[in-house]
Amino acid sequence: MAPSKVILNLPDPSLAPGVTARVSDIATPLIEITDATVYRGNTRVFDDFNLTLSQNESTAILGPNGAGKTTLLKLLTRELYPLWREFPVVRILGQERGDIWSLRKQLGIISNDLHEQYTPTVCGEEVVLSGFFGSVGVWGHQQVDHEQRLRAREILGRLGIEDLARRAFGSLSTGQQRRLLMARALANDPPNLVLDEPTSGLDLSATFQYLQMMRQLIASGRTLILVTHHIHEIPPEISRVVLLNKGRVWADGPKQEVLTGENLSELYGVEVSLVDSAGWYQAVPA
């Protein structure tokens, strides 16, 4: 069976209608974390943690379980804050704090936590529409206008999933649900997207479709921040790799220098060899 179509002719995010201040300064880092100490419950995950991610550099963040990837995502979504200090320690798009709803409209995030929050009965179009409000589902106090509905249907069409508009979220495959969440993330046409293990749970066909979609997003001018431990998810267009280990940046730099069998062997404590095929990497036992 031929694969379904994916994103085609995505607009330049800097030219999105009505968008001005959101992309006012591409030099402003997407995220700046300086000397951050972060707890989850009684566990100290980050201790004097430092990391800066640019808006114009697609980056993959890898690490073993427990390295701090989920905590980093929760800092991005403002679900966690570091311990208070006398100076700002976390800035997102130049802001230490601010309107969390506005932030969610500026930054498209697709995570496993978000995936699990949607109720099985919500229809596909409502999943996309909720992206305009940075909410999970559309609520009674949120007024959806005609332009937003047209925009949602346009995005569904670009992703080749217009047939999911009236279908219940819980009746769909994991791959279809992930593509709806991508449509939701694109509702406000953000220049930056954060993806959390995007192909986890997908079969081979759905994985390849999703990876193609990621490549086209980068080609359209967007910046992708990919948080994963699946090396095969890293598109050739991603230029920077950050390796996390035990709550610290273990290595950071150009992909060709950081993503090596030697580094991965030491990071994961197992002998690893990397296979490179046309810019795609796969880890195999050494």
The mean pLDDT values, 10 residues at a time, for the chain of 286 residues are 45 36 66 93 93 94 93 87 81 77 76 88 92 80 87 92 95 92 91 91 90 94 93 95 96 96 95 95 93
Residue-wise burial string across 184-208, b where 16 or more C-beta atoms lie within 10 A, e elsewhere: bbbbbbbbbbbbbbbbeebeeebbe
Identity of residue 102: S
Question: How much is the pLDDT for 260?
Answer: 96
Contact 55, 223 (CB under 8 A): yes
Looking at residue 17, what is its pLDDT? 34
Region 13-285: CATH code: 3.40.50.300
Residue spans of the domains in the chain: they are 13-285
Q: 163-167 contacts: CB < 8 A, separation 24 or more? A: 164/124, 165/123, 165/124, 165/125, 166/123, 166/124, 166/125, 167/123, 167/124
Partner residues linked to 280 by β-bridges: 277
Q: What pLDDT sits at residue 277?
A: 94
The reported pTM is: 0.86
pLDDT value for 166: 95
Residue 105 confidence (pLDDT): 64
DSSP code per residue over the chain: -PPPP---SPPPGGG-TT-SGGGS-TTS-SEEEEEEEEEETTEEEEEEEEEEE-TTS-EEEE--TTSSHHHHHHHHTTS--PPP-SS--EEETTBSS--HHHHHHHEEEE-HHHHHHS-TTSBHHHHHHGGGTTSSS--TT----HHHHHHHHHHHHHTT-GGGTTSBGGGS-HHHHHHHHHHHHTTT--SEEEEESTTTT--HHHHHHHHHHHHHHHHTT-EEEEEES-GGG--TT--EEEEEETTEEEEEEEHHHHS-HHHHHHHHTS-EEEEEETTEEEEEE-
- Burial of 93 per CB tally in 10 Å (0-12, 13-18, 19+): buried
Residue 93 CA: distances (Å) to CA of 102, 107, 170: 11, 9, 34
